Amino acid sequence: MGFQVSVEPGRHSFQAESDETILEAALRQGLSLPYGCRNGFCGSCRGKVLTGGVEHGAAPVEVLSNADRAAGFALFCCAMARSDLRIESREVRSFEDIPIRTLPARVQRLTRAAPDVMIVELKLAANERLQFLAGQYVDILLKDGRRRAFSLANAPHADTCLQLHIRHAPGGQFTTQVFETMKERDILRLRGPLGTFILREESPKPMLLIAGGTGFAPIKAIVEHAVAETNARPMHIYWGGRQRADLYLLQLAEQWPVEHAHIRFTPVLSDATTADRWNGRRGLVHEVAMADHPDLSEHQAYVCGSPAMVAAARQDFVARCRLPAEEFFADSFEFAADTLNAMVTSPHPASRADALSLPSGS
């Protein structure tokens, strides 16, 4: 049986089933309420029930006392609706609302999605969840203090595991470890959530989403989040790679327009081989998008991938397709700062231009 829950002061509302927690219901429908552990221990999801009745479920009495309950407080990660509700809770609308944390995570599963792409699923400790917004990334903290950035590929409502799509950077310190020695149950340390590459939910404009190679990871998170919150803004997603194998989750992306009339998807290859038997679009992914959308003056663009691709898209969308500069959002897969420093101080540094040509995308 479903109940209507309206949230003050944001005035958003959602449906909650009687066998799910209020937080689960909110996240399932794309509404981000604050949370930490999702087990009743951290108290981050505490809020007030203004009208209506709840069952407090597994809320520990040490965290939510009987006096708290009598005063109308609840832990929304434990409480379940027993009638229509009006609740008081802050809504997490911006990355600034979310604390950045350092947490251990266990490697739950390693899936080789392409010869040089590993999908790594990470599980936090039993009483931990990481709150984040779709499109953000985490830093993996290496033992020597260096850090490596990877986008979260899952949407916040599907956070049982954190999913990373990791491309092997030849000679790279961390990504070589992922491909050669990492095993399931290994422990990593991560810090996050980080970054501002998130869906601007207040805008009604149609969206162009451009991914190069593993730049697909945050685009996937954003699309899955938008679908969950039934955001029906038109989305045209372009995913570019060199060869067919670079589009390592092609079937998943092809399914989006089948299930959602407001989504279009166009895969693009820049160097298809005969073995690819490619009948689709060819060229640089952002140029194919411009050919389809010569006028971007009423759009927003979300672009993620190699620094070269992001820079070209920024330049061309604004200069040639009249995209307002403030409607361009991007995450550029730069190397970590320590790598750049090493390259600059090396006696034979690779040129920056060489270094920026990713082995995928455009």
Ligand X SMILES: Cc1cc2nc3c(=O)[nH]c(=O)nc-3n(C[C@H](O)[C@H](O)[C@H](O)COP(=O)(O)OP(=O)(O)OC[C@H]3O[C@@H](n4cnc5c(N)ncnc54)[C@H](O)[C@@H]3O)c2cc1C
Chain residues binding ligand X by CB under 6 A are: 137, 148-151, 165-167, 169, 171-176, 195, 214, 217, 331, 333-336, 339, 343, 355, 358
Q: Which residue is nearest to ligand X (CB)?
A: 172
Residue 338's Cβ-side half-sphere holds a number of Cα atoms within 13 Å equal to 11
Asked if 175 and 221 count as a contact pair (C-beta separation under 8 A), the reply is no
Using CA atoms, how far apart are residues 219 and 215, in angstroms rounded to an integer?
Answer: 7
Contacts of 70 (CB under 8 A, 6+ apart): none
Using CA atoms, how far apart are residues 76 and 126, in angstroms rounded to an integer?
Answer: 18
Provide the minimum distance between the beta carbon of 151 and ligand X in the complex, in angstroms, as a whole number. 4
Using CA atoms, how far apart are residues 164 and 190, in angstroms rounded to an integer?
Answer: 12
Give backbone dihedrals phi and psi of 175, rounded to 5 degrees, phi first: -70, -30
Task: Considering the complex, state which of residue 76 and residue 150 has its C-beta at the smaller distance from ligand X.
Answer: 150
Using CA atoms, how far apart are residues 330 and 93, in angstroms rounded to an integer?
Answer: 19
Provide the minimum distance between the beta carbon of 186 and ligand X in the complex, in angstroms, as a whole number. 16
Using CA atoms, how far apart are residues 123 and 91, in angstroms rounded to an integer?
Answer: 25
Task: Considering the complex, state which of residue 4 and residue 177 has its C-beta at the smaller distance from ligand X.
Answer: 177
Task: Considering the complex, state which of residue 103 and residue 118 has its C-beta at the smaller distance from ligand X.
Answer: 118
What's the Cα-to-Cα distance from 85 to each of 15, 35, 54, 72, 296, rounded to whole Å? 10, 19, 8, 12, 42
Task: Considering the complex, state which of residue 9 and residue 171 has its C-beta at the smaller distance from ligand X.
Answer: 171
Give the residue among 266, 206, 193 at the shortest CA–CA distance from 235. Answer: 206
Provide the minimum distance between the beta carbon of 152 and ligand X in the complex, in angstroms, as a whole number. 8
Task: Considering the complex, state which of residue 34 and residue 305 has its C-beta at the smaller distance from ligand X.
Answer: 305
Task: Considering the complex, state which of residue 41 and residue 248 has its C-beta at the smaller distance from ligand X.
Answer: 248
Provide the minimum distance between the beta carbon of 258 and ligand X in the complex, in angstroms, as a whole number. 26
Task: Considering the complex, state which of residue 36 and residue 215 has its C-beta at the smaller distance from ligand X.
Answer: 215
Provide the minimum distance between the beta carbon of 332 and ligand X in the complex, in angstroms, as a whole number. 7
Provide the minimum distance between the beta carbon of 8 and ligand X in the complex, in angstroms, as a whole number. 35
Provide the minimum distance between the beta carbon of 254 and ligand X in the complex, in angstroms, as a whole number. 21
Task: Considering the complex, state which of residue 44 and residue 175 has its C-beta at the smaller distance from ligand X.
Answer: 175
Sequence letter at residue 264: R
Provide the minimum distance between the beta carbon of 178 and ligand X in the complex, in angstroms, as a whole number. 8
Contacts of 180 (CB under 8 A, 6+ apart): none
Strands 235-241 and 187-194: unpaired
Task: Considering the complex, state which of residue 34 and residue 135 has its C-beta at the smaller distance from ligand X.
Answer: 135
Question: Residues 282, 286, 289, 290: what is their CA dihedral angle, to the nearest 10 degrees?
Answer: -110
Q: In terms of residues, how long is the chain?
A: 362
Residue with tokens 């997603």: 237
Provide the minimum distance between the beta carbon of 344 and ligand X in the complex, in angstroms, as a whole number. 11
- Angle CA 130–132–136, to nearest 5: 120
